[in-house]
Amino acid sequence: MALNIEDIHRIAYLARIEINEQEAASTLTKLSGILGLIEQMQAVNTEGILPMSHSQDLAQRLREDVVTQTNQREVFQAIAPMTEHGLYLVPKVIE
């Protein structure tokens, strides 16, 4: 399926990446090339084939419901862009 410039803006919005007109144009060319490569898959008949997500078809392990980690708020917030009173600060979302 061929992409157009509106698609690029829509995908960039879904991915939450700001993109200007110039970037959108060059992205369109490169993404179209990559999708052309991917298109080769469509020639393969995959009817009835079970999708494979992992090489070892593992079941998820369960563990005991016990505390294994202690709170390290100070350590983790030391690398945050903006905090106050132990909270992460973001622009106001509720008026």
Partner 1 sequence: MINSSLKTLSQMLASKQISSVELTQTFLTRIQQHNPAINAYIALDTDKTLAQARAADARIAAGNAEALTGIPFAQKDIFCAKGWKTTCGSKMLANFVAPYDAHVISQFDAAGAVNLGKTNMDEFAMGSSNETSYFGGVKNPWDFDRVPGGSSGGSAAAVAARLCAAATGTDTGGSIRQPASLCGFTGLKPTYGLVSRYGMIAFASSLDQAGPMAKSAEDCALMMNVMAGFDERDSTSLNRPKEDYTRGLANMVGAQPLEGLRVGLPKEYFADGLDADVAKVVQAAIAEYRKLGAEIVDISLPNSQLSIPVYYVLAPAEASSNLSRYDGVRYGHRAAEYDDLLDMYMKSRAEGFGAEVKRRILIGTYVLSAGYYDAYYLKAQQIRRLIAQDFTEAFKQCDVIMGPTAPSTAFKAGEKADDPVAMYLQDVYTIATNLAGLPGMSIPAGFAPSTDGKALPVGLQLVGNYFDEARMLDVAHAYQQVTDWHLQMPESLK
Please report, as ranges, the residues that interact with partner 1 according to CB under 8 A: 3, 7-8, 11-12, 14-19, 27, 30-31, 33-42, 44, 46, 49-56, 58, 60-61, 63, 72, 75-76, 78-82, 88, 90-93
Q: Distance (Å, rounded) from C-alpha 60 to C-alpha 22? A: 45
Report the residue number, 25 or 80, with the smaller CB distance to partner 1.
80
In contact, 12 and 24? CB cutoff 8 Å: yes
Smallest distance from partner 1 to CB 6, Å: 13
Smallest distance from partner 1 to CB 27, Å: 7
Report the residue number, 63 or 85, with the smaller CB distance to partner 1.
63
- Within the chain, strands assigned E span 83-84, 87-88
95 CB-side CA count, 13 A: 0
Residues facing residue 37 across a β-bridge: none
Smallest distance from partner 1 to CB 28, Å: 10
